[in-house]
Amino acid sequence: MTRATQQPRGVTLLGSTGSIGLSTLDVIARHPQRYRVVALTANTQGERLFEQCLQYRPEMAVLLDPAAAEELRAKLRAVGLTTQVLSGLEGLTTVATLPEAAIVVAAIVGAAGLLPTLAAVRAGKRVLFANKEPLVMCGHLFIEEARRSGAELLPVDSEHNAIFQCMADGFRAGRAPAAVRRIYLTCSGGPFRSTPVEALARVTPEQACAHPNWVMGRKISVDSATLMNKGLELIEACWLFGVTPDRVEIVIHPQSIIHSLVEYVDGSVLAQLGNPDMRTPIAHALAWPERIESGVKSLDLLEIARLEFAPPDRRRFPCLDLAYEAAAASGTAPAILNAANEVAVQAFLDRRIGFTDIPQVIARVRARLPAGRDVQLDAILADDAAARAEAARAIAVLERPVQQGVR
């Protein structure tokens, strides 16, 4: 059967109203003969989800809040759409396992996406990981469940997708790649790579969210400013590519053109280059092993002219050391790190603590909450909850009015 005569593959998009969700829908809209939207979900953006339902006519839609879901249901009914509206975690799990959806894009920010993403893996879907937290929290479990169900775990993070593209054929998540010596994770360095360290305490949420190269949500923007995003990606890379933390090196690359590199034992270094646009890795993972048009502008190397690299300043970015320590400790340490970071970042966005308090909160939680060795789901969720409670106590100690921004 040729592609032209095949039915479009169904896609469930967990987190359709965020930046990844919008980019995914843009790619899907370019290939109606290949893909159809089966289900869309959102946290609180009911109006945007309503507009997406009007455009893409999914079979199902999910909002976390039952009252918001009922409002969406009434609005869809009023315009004659038959989209079924569900709510809560149960609704997310339902659409993540629909028989009609061959592909599930996991783009829910933070730990909230853990359980529906795990359900999709257990159902044997092609799962496109756009949120790193599930693999950070319990990568071992995801790898084991994928082996059991036959699910395909494909990375959409630009860095991990770049590594994936530089790997030899036959890649399977969690399998140590043959002849790979080192993986290089690149990062732009965020908005504060040259800001005086002593000025970082005065950073405002608005400044932290103003990423120089990427358009992202607020939480991931703050993570990029602290480089915790890169620390979480380090842990994710260890699980996805079956390597130890000492074989992953983080490199600052301000232009965000080389998205990551893989070094082989023969001295070859393969790199994936492209404009900083998430539609490239999304299109690659959707169509793999084929290639499809993504809408991304062609890369002009002559216009870029130069590519720069530098090691990250660990004094400026203490979250990196915290992430390396958690990766080496394994067990529930990554889940504790992730939970503490989520709570600390939200407190910073709420102006309850300062920018430099974020790594302090995480360090306090890690020091006071020993990581467990049990990596089963119940143990991970228990340590996740304990870490959030401990982070709240640490924030109460540090809480103070935030000063004005960096000058």
pLDDT digits (tens, 9 = 90+) for 111-143: 788 999 999 999 999 999 998 888 999 999 999
pLDDT higher than threshold 90 for residue 331: yes
pLDDT higher than threshold 50 for residue 1: no
85: tokens are: 């509206």
pLDDT of residue 132: 84
pTM reported for the whole predicted model? 0.90
Contact 75, 302 (CB under 8 A): no
Average pLDDT over every residue of 308-322: 94
Average pLDDT over every residue of 34-55: 95
List pLDDT tens digits, range 143-197.
Answer: 999 999 999 999 999 999 999 999 987 678 888 888 999 999 999 998 999 899 9
pLDDT higher than threshold 60 for residue 403: no
- Annotated binding residues for Mn(2+): 157, 159, 233
- Annotated binding residues for 1-deoxy-D-xylulose 5-phosphate: 132, 158-159, 188, 211, 224, 229-230, 233
Cα 235 to Cα 135, 184, 246, 277, 319: the distances in Å are 8, 13, 11, 23, 13
Given the structure tokens 């469940």, which residue do they identify?
A: 145
Mean pLDDT for the chain?
92
pLDDT of residue 405: 55
pLDDT of residue 131: 84
Average pLDDT over every residue of 279-298: 96
pLDDT higher than threshold 50 for residue 2: no
For the chain, the domains span: 3-155
Rounded CA separation 260/159 (Å): 5
- Annotated binding residues: 17-20, 131-133, 157-159, 188, 211, 217, 224, 229-230, 233
Q: Which CATH superfamily does the domain covering 3-155 fall into?
A: NAD(P)-binding Rossmann-like Domain (3.40.50.720)
Contact 8, 56 (CB under 8 A): no
- Annotated binding residues for NADPH: 17-20, 131, 133, 217
Contact 24, 282 (CB under 8 A): yes
Look at 2-11, 175-184, 307-316, 380-389 and tell me which has the smallest mean pLDDT.
Answer: 2-11
The alpha carbon of 77 is separated from its chain's Cα centroid by a whole number of angstroms, namely 33
257: tokens are: 């053109």
pLDDT of residue 215: 66
Give me the half-sphere count of Cα atoms (radius 13 Å) on the Cβ side of residue 190. 24
pLDDT higher than threshold 90 for residue 265: yes
Q: What totals of helices (H) and strands (E) does the chain contain, helices first?
A: 16, 11
pLDDT of residue 264: 95
Rounded CA separation 342/179 (Å): 36
Number of C-beta neighbours around residue 208 at 10 A: 26
Please, what sign has the CA dihedral across residues 36, 39, 42, 47?
Answer: positive
Whether cis (ω within 30° of 0) applies to the bond prior to 254 is no
Q: What are phi and psi of 152, to 5 degrees?
A: -100, 120
In 3D, which of 89, 97, 157, 155 has the Cα closest to residue 121? Answer: 97
Rounded CA separation 238/234 (Å): 6
pLDDT higher than threshold 80 for residue 4: no
pLDDT higher than threshold 80 for residue 15: yes
31: tokens are: 């290939």
In 3D, which of 145, 185, 134 has the Cα closest to residue 161? Answer: 185
Rounded CA separation 173/142 (Å): 9
